[in-house]
Amino acid sequence: MGREAALESFISWSTDMGVNHQNVQISYSADIDSFGLKCTKNISSGTVLLQVPRKAILSWDLARKSLFLR
């Protein structure tokens, strides 16, 4: 799977998990072979750019309990 396809899968997964990224676009830059976030509009100080629910975070405890990660 190429990096662009992986990004599409990640964005789909993150949406399913409830990740909110209304003010930013998650993108891939082939020039530097890297992923990043870019604002989609002018934002004010204090604006929330990204919200990640706990269920979408891979913690050490969750990794230890996961059969998939063994």
Q: Give the pLDDT confidence of 13-63 residue by residue, as tens digits.
A: 999 999 998 889 988 888 888 899 899 899 899 988 889 998 888 888 777
Average pLDDT, the chain: 86
Cα dihedral across residues 63, 4, 9, 25: positive or negative: positive
Query: pLDDT tens for residues 39-49?
Result: 989 989 998 88
pLDDT band at 67 (very low <50, low <70, confident <90, very high): low
Q: Cα(first)–Cα(last) distance of the chain, in Å?
A: 23
- Strand ranges inside the chain, DSSP E: 24-29, 34-39
